[in-house]
Amino acid sequence: MSAAVLAVAAPTVLIGAAGSASAATTKCVYEGSDRACGTQNTSTSGTIQVCDNEADGNGVYGLLIGRKSGSQVRVGDSNGSATGCGTGTLNNDSIFVFRICEDDLGEDTCRGEYF
Ligand SMILES: [Ca+2]
Ligand SMILES: [Ca+2]
């Protein structure tokens, strides 16, 4: 009887701690069709893109607020609802929250999202 020795080496599957926060994360919020997207590039850099997608005569602006510094970056969409968006950058900090605001009558209408 030949004892077939099956030396089955258990495959060493290393489930490493993959994706260690190197990938950028993007989130978007809408106020109607107007849109702002915030992107956490790294722990020390964030960007916002603000797009006015409504030909309604109301300007649109976006805000980025830094987590550590509390500093704010405000950016508008300079050509209004025409093609193209405005962008702004937060440096030396990560995004705590970003907002889109519509400069409508009275108090501006804003929506936001946390990172
Ligand atoms: Ca609008
Ligand atoms: Ca535009």
Interval between CA 46 and ligand 2 midpoint (Å): 21
Interval between CA 34 and ligand 2 midpoint (Å): 10
Domains of the chain: 25-114 (2.60.40)
Q: How far apart are CA 114 and CA 101, in angstroms?
A: 15
- For Cα atoms 50, 46, 36, give the angle at the middle one, nearest 5 degrees: 20
Residue whose entry in the numeric block shows the structure tokens 């607020």? 65
Helix/strand/coil for 63: strand
**pLDDT tens per residue across span 43-90:** 999 999 999 999 999 999 999 999 999 999 999 999 999 999 999 999
Ligand nearest to the CA of 82: 2
Give residue 25's pLDDT: 96
Interval between CA 108 and ligand 2 midpoint (Å): 19
Interval between CA 13 and ligand 1 midpoint (Å): 52
Q: Enter the DSSP assignment of 10.
A: P
Ligand nearest to the CA of 103: 1
Ligand nearest to the CA of 84: 2
Interval between CA 9 and ligand 2 midpoint (Å): 60
What pTM did the predictor assign? 0.79
Residue whose entry in the numeric block shows the structure tokens 């830094």? 66
Tell me the range of 6-15, 16-25, 30-39 where mean pLDDT is highest: 30-39
**pLDDT tens per residue across span 27-39:** 999 999 999 999 9
CA 84 to chain centre: 18
Q: How confident is the model at residue 23 (pLDDT cuts 50, 70, 90)?
A: confident
Going from the C-alpha of 108 to that of each of 58, 80, 100, the distances in angstroms are 10, 16, 10
Q: How confident is the model at residue 16 (pLDDT cuts 50, 70, 90)?
A: very low
Whole-angstrom Cα Rg for the chain: 23
Q: Residue 90, Cβ neighbours under 10 Å: how many?
A: 25
14 and 68 in contact (C-beta within 8 Å)? no
